[in-house]
Amino acid sequence: MTAKQETTIEMHCESCGMVTNEQGEYCQYCVDENGQLRPYEEVFAKMERWLARVEPTLSHEQIAQKTKNYMATMPEWRGRDEI
């Protein structure tokens, strides 16, 4: 007898890359109360705050550059002028 394996598809937010269990393209942190994607600047600021907590030894300039580089890889922001 073989064990039945469940197939789980892990969904990721197209704005920040966070794993999400929600339906749709974006996580709860990247959308507003109406479910609309927040502006780039807002998502960028949230990502900077998160990175500052995760890597507290980085300078503000390093945090900003790492955030910019990472967000440029996200499907929602790839190829946009503000990046």
Q: Which two tokens stand for residue 3?
A: 């064990």
Query: Whole-prediction pTM value?
Result: 0.80
Which pLDDT does position 77 carry in this prediction? 95
Q: 54 vs 19, 38, 50, 79, CA distance in Å? A: 17, 22, 6, 27
Q: What pLDDT, in 10s, does the model give residues 23-70? A: 789 999 999 999 999 999 999 999 999 999 999 999 999 999 999 999
| DSSP output for 8-37 | -PPEE-TTT--EE-SSSSS-TTTB-TTSPB
Closest by CA to 27, choosing from 74, 83, 73, is 74
Beta bridge pairs of residue 12? 19
